[in-house]
Amino acid sequence: MRRLIPSLVLAAVAAACGDAEPSPAPATGASAIGETMVVEQTVIAAVVPVDGTVTAREEAVLSTRLMAQITSIEVEVGDPVRRGQALVRLGTEDISASRGRAEASLLVARAARDEAERHVARMDTLLAQDAVPLVQRDQARLALVQAESQVALAEAAVQEVDAAARYSVLEAPFDGTVVSRTARVGDLASPGLPLLAVAAHGPREVVLGVPVEAARGLRPGSMIAVHGTALERTLARVRAVASGADPRSRTIEVRAELPASWPTGVSVTALVPSGTQEGITIPEAAVVRRGQLTGVHVVGEDGSSLRWIRLGRRIETAGEDGDVEIWVEVLSGLEAGERIAL
């Protein structure tokens, strides 16, 4: 008889028993035995551990197109921010001077265009009276076209200054949290130089470089086990799988969803399913622990006796009711067909 354990593995290490196994405990009476189960040979998912890094689904590194001195920074690392909130302000003295020059040039260009329009009107009137040659009227219209071009250039210069002015105040692109700050008040900001990084609120994801062989069985929607720091564990749903491998590392990028509470930038380990193997698994609730020793109550015709066993991986699966069921792999000490107490 075989029982298929779903390949949603969340834990990988269990302590082994000592080198010498103590003698089994004496059997107990049948009346002391509660619920039991028959040990079966099962199909267990083999896994490949892959290290990855937790990132936010959306993360922005803020920089500027200006070269200006930083006059104020409104936030610190860890502060929550709202979309559109001002985070960094730069000195605008150079921008103010540039705006003045651009607006003055625009006024001159518009005045020249207006005069060119009046001159064309006069030339048209004189041409109608045969008072000027046609070539002179055409020259006036050419001058008008040139004047209109100068106005367009001056207007573009003003727009360019306005665009640059928007980079003097860096705003949060979305609701999130400041995750890094590399600038201080008084520093000189340069075009493209990172100043702050903001991570959006909401789901996190882990970015994995999965070996090609292991990645072949992964699809969007596949579930993989992920171990974080401080005993954090979860089942992560694969969100995206790259269509090609990195030629240097021979790995395929895989992104899987994580809870929003997981911190960004930390390293985690994912247990990627890679084929199956046969073995014996039992519910963790059936395991008896005595220090570093692990055992189970084996049920026979005369009652039950405690037998020491060696355990392997710890396995978590989704039960029929949606709850997480915890099983452990038995490496030695127990055979299929034997009955154990739960």
Among 60-74, 87-101, 191-205, whose mean pLDDT is lowest?
Answer: 87-101
- pLDDT of 31 over the 50 cut: no
The pLDDT value given to residue 278: 83
Strand order of the β-sheet with 68-73 is 169-171, 86-90, 68-73, 188-189
Dist CA 329 CA 284 (whole Å): 9
Nearest C-alpha neighbor of 51 from the set 249, 260, 277? 249
DSSP H or E run through 17: none
pLDDT digits (tens, 9 = 90+) for 206-252: 999 998 888 888 889 888 888 887 667 888 899 999 988 888 888 99
The predicted model gives 293-315 an average pLDDT of 89
The pLDDT value given to residue 319: 53
- pLDDT of 332 over the 50 cut: yes
Amino acid, single-letter form, for residue 239: R
The pLDDT value given to residue 197: 92
Q: Are 287 and 307 in contact (CB under 8 A)?
A: no
Half-sphere exposure of 210 (CA within 13 A, CB side): 30
Q: Is the dihedral of CA 326, 43, 208, 83 positive or negative?
A: negative
- pLDDT of 11 over the 60 cut: no
Dist CA 305 CA 23 (whole Å): 10
The pLDDT value given to residue 224: 86
The pLDDT value given to residue 92: 79
- Give 34's DSSP letter: -
Which structural domains are found in the chain, ordered by start?
Answer: 2-47+275-341 (2.40.420.20), 50-58+201-273 (2.40.30.170), 59-91+171-200 (2.40.50.100), 92-167 (1.10.287)
Show the tokens assigned to 170.
Answer: 């860096």
Q: Are 193 and 209 in contact (CB under 8 A)?
A: no
- pLDDT of 307 over the 80 cut: yes
Average pLDDT of every residue of the chain:
83
